[in-house]
Amino acid sequence: MVGFGTRSGYRALWQSFADSVKYGSLEPVRYTLAKELGISIRPNEHRNITLAQLGLKVQRQTAFQFKGEDLLNAARQGLFGDAPDSVFTVMPRSARVEGQAGNKGWALELTFSLALRSKSATLRNGESDFFRQMADGKTEFSEFDGDVPYRKVYLEDKYYLTSLLSVEKRYEVAMNATLPKGTIVNSDFVDANRGVLDRLRLRAQFVVKDKNTAQALADNPDMSTIRELVASGEIDAQKSMLFIPGSESGMRQSAVPGLALGETIVDLTGKSRRVWNPGASRLEVIVNEAFHKF
């Protein structure tokens, strides 16, 4: 999806249209559009829509947004660092040996998701959670085991004009809206976060010194083994990289003028790869949806 936003330079856009007409060339307008358009790529948008909502013309959503670079930083700490207070746990999904990493060992590529750490919480009748939901003796509540680093919270109205054209009106509620450790929320909200994070697919590459050890880990990737190998020095955390592979990550992309959607990296085997820019990648938890017909 592409569109115009508050950061778009409308004067530059109109001037580019005039220049294209004046010089009989589309080059001025192409160049300016590339700079001034806001871009949002949402390959997994269908996951936010249930069958009961199909065909409705107006859609309202509340979204809690994680930024890709924050998730990668949390994953790096979970894999190689000391993060006892992190709200995230790394969940290995699959792994494979990519090849030799020069003369340093063998490059193993791990695909993983994240899990959210929380525990059951009890509120007395009349008490309320973070979102001001009152305890009634029936609703279940949970308490986060660490800071939950939402970068943005917003309300969004979507008006579907045709199957290919829609208009969005967004109300940004909060920026850098981290929920601190110990925050108590409705358990349904925690479940919504866990569902989104469970579908997330990020990747890490790191060097394992011994080939047989690398292959054994690829056959059965688990965090306890990874942490043991890091502690023993068999895995060198300094020879590692984490990245967002693309649409298969389950994330979406959102770029304002000047922010690239993708980047080229060289992996630990020396292969060049095109991946998503963590700064332009978003993971959104959609809650409190209300839908209306005209």
Question: In the prediction, which pLDDT does 227 show?
Answer: 95
Helix (H, G, I), strand (E, B) or coil at 227: helix
Q: Which helix (H) or strand (E) holds 225?
A: helix 223-232
| pLDDT (0 to 100) of residue 163 | 62
The closest of 116, 138, 115, 135 to 125, measured between CA atoms, is: 135
165-171 contacts at long range (C-beta below 8 A, 24 or more positions apart): 168/3
Give the per-residue pLDDT at 114: 98
Give this prediction's pTM: 0.78
Q: What is the pLDDT of residue 103?
A: 83
**101 to 107, 108, 206, 234: CA distances (angstroms):** 5, 9, 9, 14
- The conformation of residue 94, written as its DSSP 8-state character, comes to E
d(CA 87, CA 180): 10
- What is residue 242's predicted lDDT score, i.e. its pLDDT? 98
Task: Please give the chain's pLDDT, 294 residues, in tens.
Answer: 445 454 455 576 667 667 766 666 666 555 555 555 544 545 555 445 544 455 566 777 788 999 999 999 999 999 998 877 899 999 999 999 999 998 889 999 999 999 999 999 999 988 999 989 999 988 999 999 999 999 999 887 777 666 666 666 767 676 788 999 999 999 999 999 999 999 999 999 999 999 999 999 999 999 999 999 999 999 989 999 999 999 999 999 886 666 778 889 999 999 999 999 999 999 999 886 654 444
CB 64 within 8 A of CB 273: no
Distances (CA, A) of 135 to 86, 128, 186, 258, 262: 27, 6, 9, 46, 45
